[in-house]
Amino acid sequence: MKKFVILFALVVLILTAKFVSAQSPLNVREFGAVGDGKTDDTAAFQKALDAAATSDSQVVSVPRGNYRFEGSLEVPVGVTLKGVWESVPAHIGIRNKGQVRPTDDGTTFLVTGGQGQINDTPFLTLNTNSTLKGICIYYPDQKEDDVPTEYPWTIAMRGKNPAILDCELLNPYQAIDATKNERHLIRNISGQPLRLGIYVDSIYDIGRIENVHFNPWWSMKPKLFRWQMENGEAFVFGRSDWQYVHNTFCFGYNIGYRFIETKSGVCNGNFLGIGADDCYTAVVVDQSAPMGLLITNGEFVSFHGLEPTMVRVGNKNRGVIRFSNCAFWGPCRQIAAVEGLGTIGFSDCTFVQWGFKDKEGGKPNEKEQIEISAIQVLGGNLILRGCEFQDKKPQIFLGENVKKAIVTGNLIRGQERIENKSGEKPEIIIRDNASGN
């Protein structure tokens, strides 16, 4: 009986060992990856990824190292490419003495291919059920105090359920192309995309973007950062059917969040806890869907550039934009400039620090004030209820092409100053606002 028990235990151990071995991730080092920052590891990585597609594990593990890429990678269906980071890393002030550089720790991809070829193949393409996780991606040839060099997309998301998790995209020219897929997941991403952060289009099943933070950690040197503020866009949305965007932030861009119309259509969705700081314009809506852009608990700040403004709605917009429980401040020229035939709504929002004179290239002088309304609506419909205007300045301007407006139940500091050029008609309702010191 004792011998039988021992024999049974040995069999169990052998079978367990084989099972664990079959399920173990494939190590890129075993496929020839060097990780010394000098050797081109593109071919070794692709070999490991292709092998993982037919393995029991379907995971490629990338140990600590600096992996140089002169070419591009294709992550096969169902494969995960995984670095050592279990949470998104940060390399703040990497050029400063005593700070940790991305090449000093963790799993770092040094991308050198595609320089000057913006329309070339993306560095890394994810496919159905494939995942990128725990990686820092760094462009070592990008100059930190010059007009940035163009590169193709860093990551393209295709197929169904592609995912990017816990990655730092430190200084890409354009970071994530989230188009032509279904149910993409972009979670826990940080970095400083220079021209374009995330581009979403042709999404017909819900995409998710969560906990994304774009901040100038890599470089705020004058020439580069000025170019970024004049040209950069953090989040751009074309056609997306119920896009979910939660807890995202950007700093130092020409446009923080932009909504456009493409050949595929326009965006509607849920935007919760989003923020844009020091963007020339925090939110730009060229076009939106009839179902609406639902923006809740947002924080928006603009105080650089000509006519710094938090919200701009273009003259072609036919859709709906709703801001709820959001805060807007500057010092800026105006809070919102609205055109088009659509509807914009503000409810339970706070407006502070508008009506300052523009100052090109710098922050407006808070002593140089101008007479301009916080909310300027030149066309379409306005719903504005339960908001607070904290400055003693003009609050609302309704242009002659405004069709309908409801302005009720707001707190106004100082005198109520609502200018109505749309005419005295029953479709314009202005009442029950509390004003005074």
Could you give the CA distance from residue 278 to residue 305 in angstroms, rounded to a whole number? 10
Q: How far is Cα of residue 345 from the mean position of the Cα atoms in its chain?
A: 23
3 state DSSP class of 231: helix
Homologous superfamily in CATH for domain 28-171: Single-stranded right-handed beta-helix, Pectin lyase-like (2.160.20.10)
CB contact at 8 A, 323 and 292: no
CA distances from 429 to 113, 347, 424, 426 (A): 59, 15, 9, 7
Fold match flag (28-171 vs 232-437) = yes
pLDDT of residue 2: 53
Those residues whose C-beta lies under 8 Å from the C-beta of residue 87, and which sit 6 or more positions away, are 166, 188
What 8-state DSSP symbol labels residue 29?
G
Mean pLDDT value of segment 186-201: 98
Question: What separation, in Å, do the N-terminal and C-terminal C-alpha atoms of the chain show?
Answer: 93
User: Mean pLDDT for the chain?
Assistant: 92
User: What pTM was computed for the model?
Assistant: 0.93
41 pLDDT more than 60: yes
Q: Could you report the per-residue pLDDT of 147-182, keeping only the tens digit for each?
A: 999 999 999 999 999 999 999 999 999 999 999 999
DSSP 175-209: EEEEESEES-EEEEEEE--SSEEEEEESB-S--EE
* 21 vs 210: which has the higher pLDDT: 210
7 pLDDT more than 50: no
Beta bridge partners of 176: 155, 198
**Percent of the chain at pLDDT exceeding 90:** 85
* Burial (Cβ within 10 Å: 0-12, 13-18, ≥19) of residue 153: buried
Q: What is the CATH number of domain 232-437?
A: 2.160.20
Query: What is the domain partition of the chain in residue ranges?
Result: 28-171, 232-437
Neighbours of 371 (CB within 10 A): 8
360 pLDDT more than 50: yes
Q: Could you report the per-residue pLDDT of 75-114, keeping only the tens digit for each?
A: 999 999 999 999 998 887 665 555 678 888 899 999 999 9
Residue 108 half-sphere exposure, CB side, CA atoms within 13 Å? 22
Q: Could you report the per-residue pLDDT of 370-429, keeping only the tens digit for each?
A: 889 999 999 999 999 999 999 999 999 999 999 999 999 999 999 999 999 998 788 999
What 8-state DSSP symbol labels residue 12?
H
pLDDT of residue 93: 66
Could you give the CA distance from residue 177 to residue 171 in angstroms, rounded to a whole number? 15
